[in-house]
Amino acid sequence: MTAPRRRPLAEQVVVIVGGSSGIGRVTARRFAEEGARVLVAARGEPGLRSIVDQIVSAGGQATNQVADAVDPAAMQTLAKRAVALYSRIDTWVHVAAVSIWAEAEDTTPEEYKQVIDVNLLGQIHGALAALPYLKDSGGTLIAVSSVEGRIGLPFQSAYAASKHGLIGFLDSLRLELKRHDSPVSVTNIMPASIDTPLFEKARTRIGYQPKGVPPLYSPEEVARGILYAAEHPARDLIVGGAGRLMAAAQSL
């Protein structure tokens, strides 16, 4: 089945999970600047209120909902609220993630579980909540993963495992959607090192504040990739030249 033409951004209804800071925050603002109606979700209400106030003050349309991606019921409620507010969902963007910097043997089972619950199961909960509505609209599911979904780095065993798992889920989901001639497009956005609060908020056992592998790219570059995918069906988009080089080197 040929995928239907996506609505222009100015006509879209967009849900962003993890939209209160970093990549998600910039993406919410950019969608609103293009005229989309945006529902922003995250665990922290102050960050949500501030981005919605910023969007509305600039003349955009946005609302927020406190929701934890780890809770499947919260993701279902979020999807239903988007449809109640705006009648449909055209694009679902899932950005929420956590990280820990430690050697594999120094990472506790509880920490592995938390990272996988947020980064992998959270994405799955969001996708399952959004899919029925995306099928109705012929919309787009956009998962923000990482180049670490292909390349594991030192001190990042939990994070890399969660991102590898996410890519496996998306690959299987695509095949099933194709089997049913579904109009839903599934895009995996794989950023390289991005200058976001993820590093500052991460737990660390390596003796110093973690930083991304240079060069660091801006969240705006990831947001551009997300907005592109919302209008143009794409399978995988790597953001950052260093990420593309790392993925090519891993393949070789």
Known catalytic residues are: 159
Q: Which SS3 state, helix, strand or coil, does residue 66 take?
A: strand
| Tokens 């029925």, located at residue | 132
109 CA to centre of own chain: 25
**Which residues partner with 102 through β-bridges?**
156
User: What 8-state DSSP symbol labels residue 154?
Assistant: T
| Tokens 């890399």, located at residue | 160
* Residue 186 one-letter amino acid: V
Residue 213 is encoded by which pair of tokens?
């592998």
d(CA 94, CA 14): 11
Residue 60 is encoded by which pair of tokens?
């955009």
d(CA 56, CA 251): 45
Q: Judging by beta carbons within 10 Å of its beta carbon (0-12, 13-18, 19+), is residue 227 exposed, middle or buried? A: buried
